[in-house]
């Protein structure tokens, strides 16, 4: 098992990407290190094994890298929250602002049964706009957010403030 420090060292700062003034946290060195990637998924699986999660919702695209393998480990369903126009059936949508852009995420209508227990998973919690949008999608379906899990949180952006009332887990913090 890698230590938190070793995992943190595999996330690289990219200054002024995608726009000037943003320090982008590049997780691809961690993803390309098989031991480290497996360690992250194993830690998440250990945490959520007894949470009675029905399905895991991951955000396109980097959230999929953690949400889908975790869903396989826990044998839950995986629900992709996708950018507009990617899902073929009827969708519900939520527009939002993130650290360096505005965007929109969609899920298939009726994919989350009312009352189901949903774990939301993404790579980075920055300002919290993306995560909050996804909580709205879950709520709109009458489902419950068990927790939001992130590989890393950018604490200085105070994303948790937008997610008041939700339980949040960040494996690593900057
Ligand atoms: P936010 O909505 O501001 O919390 O932004 C979170 C989403 O945008 C996540 O899906 C991240 O992949 C991405 N993101 C935002 N800021 C960064 C950053 N500084 N480094 C890497 N990813 C980021």
Distance (Å, rounded) from C-alpha 143 to C-alpha 102? 25
How many separate domains does the chain show?
Answer: 1
Domain range for residue 77? 50-173
Question: Does 122 map to a domain?
Answer: yes
Question: Does 119 map to a domain?
Answer: yes
* pTM for the model: 0.98
Distance 122 CA to ligand 1 centre (A): 9
Predicted pLDDT of residue 69: 98
Distance 143 CA to ligand 1 centre (A): 24
Question: Does 118 map to a domain?
Answer: yes
- Tokens encoding 50: 């007894």
Question: Does 82 map to a domain?
Answer: yes
The residue-averaged pLDDT of 5-33 equals: 98
Predicted pLDDT of residue 27: 98
Per residue, the 3-state secondary structure of 97-164, as one string, reads EECCEEEEEEEECCCCCCCCEEEEEEEEECCCHHHHHHHHHHHHCCCEEEEEEEEEECHHHCHHHHHC
> Which one of 29, 103, 130, 163 would you pick to mutate in the ligand 1 pocket, going by the greatest count of ligand atoms within 8 A of its CB?
130
CATH of the domain at 77: 3.40.50.2020
List, for residues 104-152, the tens digit of each pLDDT value.
999 999 899 999 999 999 999 999 999 999 999 999 999 999 999 999 9
List, for residues 66-110, the tens digit of each pLDDT value.
999 999 999 999 999 999 999 999 999 999 999 999 999 999 998
């Amino acid at each position: 098992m890698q230590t938190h420090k070793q995992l943190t060292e595999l996330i690289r700062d990219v200054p002024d990407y995608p726009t000037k003034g943003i320090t982008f946290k590049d997780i691809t060195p961690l993803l390309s290190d098989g031991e480290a990637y497996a360690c992250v998924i194993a830690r998440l699986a250990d945490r959520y094994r007894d949470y009675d999660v029905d399905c895991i919702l991951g955000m396109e695209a980097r959230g999929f890298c953690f949400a889908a393998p975790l869903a396989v480990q826990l044998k839950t369903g995986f629900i992709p929250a996708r950018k507009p126009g990617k899902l073929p059936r009827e969708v519900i949508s939520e527009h939002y602002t993130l650290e360096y852009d505005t965007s929109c995420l969609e899920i298939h209508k009726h994919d989350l049964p009312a009352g189901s227990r949903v774990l939301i998973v993404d790579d980075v919690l920055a300002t919290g706009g993306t995560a909050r949008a996804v909580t709205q999608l879950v709520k709109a379906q009458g489902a419950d957010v068990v927790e939001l899990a992130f590989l890393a949180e950018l604490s200085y952006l105070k994303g948790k403030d937008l997610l008041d009332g939700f339980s949040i887990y960040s494996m690593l913090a900057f």
